[in-house]
Chains A and B, each alone.
Chain A
Amino acid sequence: MAKGGLFGPLRDSQAWKSIFRHGPPDNPKNRVLVVLMNVFLHLHPIRMKKSGVRMSFTWCMGGITFFLFLVETITGVLLMFYYRPTADYAYADIIALREHVPIGVMREVHRWGAHLMVISVWLHMLRVFLTGSYKPPREFNWGIGVILLVLTLLLSFTGYLLPWDQLAIWAITVGSNMARATPFLGHEGPGAALLNSLMGFDVVTAGSDARFALLAGRLVGEATLLRFYVLHCVFIPLAASLLMAIHFWRVRKDGGISGPL
């Protein structure tokens, strides 16, 4: 048997060494290096208390949420191969994803994954609250988490319109009416009348307020569908990914996952 066991020659090859800059994880130093030198693992703590990952304490809700985000990303990209965000095609493509595409459950997986992710995000937040893990030095990461919660809800909201059926159109009509009441930015919100009188002409109207920017019009229409599609598939996932990286990084930097009380 060669030195280093069965994989010795492999570990000695230049190709292996060009990928992994450290020796096998058979001593404490190398085990640290495994985490430090890997772009995916380096966001994790190098070591943590054994009790810190007890299921009864963490509920594993943060991890499950991240897993569901990955599921949503993968199934979402698969759906994008068939779905066209236009009034003529959107609904037909949704039906086609069930009837014409082999193993037509990808949209169902995406939909149920989204429901589960909203639930797991709330449970994660509840767990963090109940264990007091929002307290200093973790208060900044709580703030990041609140933004991630809002982004999760916005992902659900923007995805809601994409099937382009009656439920979708009226749900977004009703939901986006809340934007009318945005302070200063919505034409029926507090401060809009004040702004208009200060400027001397109507700055904030149904044709120039926050709801208009969201819907690309006064009504939910084809422009809204495209706008929500881009938000749903590109903008919000990118923003969430960035914040998740910070979120995981701060778990480590703020003293690791909090221990049981």
Chain B
Amino acid sequence: MPRPPFPEAPEGVSRRLFLNWLTVGWVGFGGALGAGVTAVGRLFFPNITFEPPQQFKAGFPNEYAINKVDERFKKKYGVWIVRNERGLYILSTVCTHLGCTPNWLEGEQKFKCPCHGSGFYSTGINFEGPAPRPLERFKVNLADDGQIYVDKMAKYQWEKGQWNDPASFLELA
């Protein structure tokens, strides 16, 4: 008498079918979990921040006095606009030591950081205190309407030789 066949799986559910559905289930679960984690992670990066824009128009060049450090956009945009005989440049108000905001001391002709005492000339070059490098400059050019256009997305660092880049300085005849 031949041996009885291996017991059949319950009606309608083969091993293959079970494993296939198990795979579908795990892949679906993993996908849903991944999507959920991604969505929660994305939640922490809002589409809109209520901060001043990174690009802005700063008025016309003749509104800036020669050899003066202008502070009108310090609070709103975090920049000083410095005019000299040749043109003007945009300095970041973020101290290169630990990120505080220095003050411009007109009498002493220097930027002085209140946190740890770093000092910078009006060019942005550091000369005292713990700051390891000069202040950063931002991209500047003239908009079509003749206004100064500042782009904070592009920064220029002296120690990388980037102050030679024409975009870091607005030549004025």
Contact = CB atoms under 8 A, between A and B. Distances in A.
A170 B45 contact: no
Interface in A214-229: 216-219, 221-223
Contact of A218 (B44, B46, B51): B51
A83 interface: no
A212 B45 contact: yes
Contacts, number: 31
A213 B45 contact: yes
Contacts of B78: 219
Contact of B49 (A177, A213, A218): A218
Contacts of A156: none
Contacts of B98: 174, 177
Interface string B88-99: 000000000011
Interface residues of A, number: 15
Interface in B111-129: 115
B45 A221 contact: no
Given A218-B51, A219-B51, A170 B100 contact: yes
A216 B50 CA distance: 10
A196 interface: no
Contacts of B99: 173-174, 177
Given A170-B115, A174-B115, A216 B100 contact: no
A223 B100 contact: no
Interface string A42-56: 000000000000000
Given A217-B51, A221-B50, A221-B51, A174 B45 contact: no
A193 to B, nearest CB: 13
Interface string A81-108: 0000000000000000000000000000
Contacts of A216: 44, 46, 49
Contacts of B100: 170, 173-174
A182 interface: no
The CB with the most chain A CB atoms within 10 A, among B51, B78, B98, B99, is that of B99
B101 to A, nearest CB: 8
Contacts of A75: none
A152 interface: no
A208 interface: yes
Interface of B: 44-46, 49-51, 78, 98-100, 115
17 contacts: A170-B115, A173-B99, A173-B100, A174-B115, A207-B49, A208-B45, A212-B45, A213-B45, A216-B44, A217-B49, A218-B49, A218-B51, A219-B51, A221-B51, A222-B50, A223-B46, A223-B49
Q: What 9 A-B pairs are tightest by C-beta distance, nearest first? A: A174-B98, A177-B99, A213-B44, A217-B49, A173-B99, A217-B51, A174-B99, A170-B100, A218-B51
